Structure 1
């Protein structure tokens, strides 16, 4: 959910919550809001508190345990806390990539009580007395707490066990839930195929290198054998031939002795 959608949802919840209040709501009483049919499965409630009492004692409603020493500004004599539980509609509004929700998305926002002028102001909180505890029903092991911020980002943290229920600690108003990581989409067969492919590639590479090495060794052996044969032939030639030799490069080559044939007169007759 992006920033605008999250803010719009919070505005709708507080609007329905205030419309559902009696003419003279009692301080410290939690009132359930009436929602239209398109929010079936969603629960919204609101409680009005005196600011001084809230700062000294904190509050404990709808699964949110708020400690004392929470300061809010701007200052109002009375504050309204709007709680929401998206229930079965949680995944319609919030999600975490590669994770699945294992608890409903719950949230709270604190507003200055509108009073006679009817203006409604969302307050900024500063917690000096410790974090707010959000209690969830028991969830599977390895679950993570997740906080959804109004700018569309989220943050995950570990679950605490400060109460009998699974609990998340938060330090600001917003929306919260618990998630577990989705299992890998690859099947055992896929994993086996991947392993076999890697081994095949490794074996192919080793085989190619082995063939190249064998070919190089064979080439060198043939070359050495030929050079030895040439050396033997040269030595045999030197022993058996009476021809003179001369050096040509690094090899000795036989040469014939130059004999000039003397001219012979065919007839002795002299005219």
Structure 2
């Protein structure tokens, strides 16, 4: 929709290489659009600058017969949230800390704008990339936000591809990213922890919110993790010790029970009685005592004692 409106309102009387401001209708308020028409040969030899985008020399435009129209977009704070939710930045644990900036290229007729516009590819190299300067006055006039985010090493560059993929890379310098083709770019910051007041993700534009995500908050979180790990290890060691003691007690009781059963069996088979302070086995009497006849006992008694 932005492309069609830009092409319909492009002023053909402007010379090639002159940047033109496009005023969108009220339902697109908050989006800033600039466009410029360039010769493909001039763009390849000298590069170009449009808004926050610095295109180095040696760029390749495919396909391009003679002229190309570059459209620079600044989606602002409100419209940038579409990329935060559409590309699921919260799923990557990131949140926007800058508006989303876009650089798109379309084919152009030699004498004006093409009646059947289509997107063309602007390709650069890592040695001569496209630089995106987020410190530009058109991006943000909040110097406090710039200073705070500049010192935060967790801020990365995000590139939103047209196929729905998102790639992250380091900044080449504070608040400056690089790209190798046209597309949409933004600065993102790693979220320390999900907050209940953050829905599908949004654009953080105040210095206070940026400072909450970085600075001393990370150190405090690491300290809490360290203390929690020590406490958790101590509790785990105590529980493990209690488990070992319980197992030993169970084994000891089992051995004592088996010993008692063995002793009970032996005592049942052989009676045991106390002899003094000693337990000794005893057996019941089974022999028949001899009995002397009475007559013989008497005769022997008489003969022995007259």
Q: Does the CA-based 8 Å contact 2:159-2:168 persist in structure 1? A: yes
TM norm structure 2: 0.64
Which residues of structure 1 form unaligned runs of 5+? 1-11, 241-251, 260-271
| Residue pair 1:20, 1:32 contacting (<8 A) in 2 also | no
2:72 maps to 83
Alignment of 1:1-271 (within 5 A): 12-95=1-84, 96-97=89-90, 98-114=93-109, 115=111, 118-128=115-125, 130-137=128-135, 138=146, 139-140=149-150, 141-142=152-153, 143-161=155-173, 166-185=175-194, 203-221=238-256, 223-224=258-259, 254=283, 257=286
Give me the TM-score of the superposition, normalised by structure 1.
Answer: 0.71
Per the TM alignment, residue 172 of structure 1 is displaced from its structure 2 partner at its CA by 1.2
Is the CA contact 1:16–1:34 (under 8 Å) kept in the aligned structure 2?
no
Unmatched 5+ stretches in structure 2: 136-145, 196-219, 276-280, 289-306
Q: 1 or 2, which has the higher strand percentage?
A: 1
Secondary structure of the 1:151 match is coil
RMSD: 4.0
Which structure carries more helix by proportion?
A: 2
Deviation at 1:55, TM superposition (A): 0.6
Instruction: Give the CA deviation at 1:130.
Output: 2.3
Show CA shifts across 1:47-97 (max 9, x none): 111111111011111111111111112222111100100011244311112
Count of residue pairs the alignment pairs up: 236
Distance 1:185 1:201, change over 3 A: farther
Change (3 A) 1:203 1:179: same
> 2-side partners of 1:237 and 1:183: how far apart?
78
